[in-house]
């Protein structure tokens, strides 16, 4: 069904190479658009979005240069092992996009441009649909609560009265000591009751923890991933 536009007879032609690179760039642009549209919170990175446009063309060029030459393939693999990414570590969504870009580049690099286009459209549409749908998403009302208490306060049950009055559900996720063991930092995932005043809830907690640090916010996205 799918056929390559590259032939080994007489080597690669300039029009074929240009076509493969152009297709890789166009499909990279589509992938970058998929990356942007799939982020409903608008927290995407401009640099990463631009990189997704260029990456498939680079991979396609490397594949065309290597061809079926085993020695070149090992040389390229050795060169890639020397690359270190010093940027901020990405999440699973970024890693998925990188592999997606490499798949587009590999397919375009061997000349299967129609297959590359089909993969980009089908997988890209499915990716946006899944990211935009409520599939496997946490409830919007779930928040992360970090509260610091003194070591002489038994955190097991000390805040239950406040949580029963102001929250629908409360799960203790993590306990750690701070300030050389003089304090405990408790991390909860909570869901406040409808109509509850956040300020009133925090003030009640302040009365229990001696007015030490309290932080209430959204659950970090990285804690929802593998």
Q: Where are the domains of the chain?
A: 14-132, 142-221
- pLDDT at residue 223 tops 60: no
Q: 202-211 as b/e, with b when 16 or more CB fall inside 10 Å? A: bebbeebbee
Give the span between the Cα atoms of 1 and 77, in whole angstroms. 31
> Using alpha carbons only, how large is the chain's radius of gyration in Å?
26
- Where do the H-state alpha helices sit in the chain? 14-37, 46-66, 70-81, 92-109, 113-132, 155-158, 160-166, 198-208
The three-class DSSP label of residue 85 is coil
Q: How many Cβ atoms from other residues are within 10 Å of residue 87's Cβ?
A: 10
- pLDDT at residue 222 tops 80: no
**Contact in structure between 175 and 155 (CB atoms under 8 Å):** yes
Give the span between the Cα atoms of 133 and 31, in whole angstroms. 19
Helix (H) or strand (E) holding 170: strand 167-178
Give the span between the Cα atoms of 142 and 190, in whole angstroms. 6
- pLDDT at residue 164 tops 50: yes
**Contact in structure between 38 and 131 (CB atoms under 8 Å):** yes
Q: What's the confidence (pLDDT) of residue 54?
A: 93
Across 128-154, average pLDDT: 81
The fold of 142-221 is: Alpha-Beta Plaits (3.30.70)
Mean pLDDT (the chain) is 82
The model's pTM is 0.65
Question: Of residues 85 and 215, which shows the higher confidence score?
Answer: 215
């Amino acid at each position: 069904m799918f056929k390559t536009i590259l032939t080994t007879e007489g080597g690669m032609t300039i029009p074929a190479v240009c076509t493969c690179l152009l297709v890789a760039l166009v499909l990279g642009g589509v992938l970058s658009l998929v990356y942007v549209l799939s982020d409903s919170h608008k927290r995407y990175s401009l640099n990463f979005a631009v990189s997704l446009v260029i990456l498939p063309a680079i991979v396609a060029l490397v594949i065309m240069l290597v061809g079926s030459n085993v020695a070149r393939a090992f040389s390229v693999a050795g060169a890639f092992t020397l690359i270190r990414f010093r940027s901020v570590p990405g999440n699973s969504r970024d890693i998925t996009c990188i592999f997606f870009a490499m798949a587009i580049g590999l397919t375009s690099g061997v000349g299967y441009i129609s297959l590359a286009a089909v993969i980009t459209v089908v997988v890209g549409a499915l990716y946006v649909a899944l990211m935009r749908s409520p599939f496997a998403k946490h409830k919007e009302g779930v928040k992360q609560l970090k509260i610091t208490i003194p070591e002489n306060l038994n955190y097991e049950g000390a805040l239950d009265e406040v949580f029963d009055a102001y929250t629908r559900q409360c799960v203790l996720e993590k306990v750690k000591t701070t300030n050389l063991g003089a304090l405990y930092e408790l991390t909860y995932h909570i869901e406040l009751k409808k109509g509850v005043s956040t300020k009133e809830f925090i003030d009640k907690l302040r009365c229990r923890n001696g007015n030490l640090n309290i932080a209430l916010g959204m659950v970090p996205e990285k804690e929802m991933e593998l």
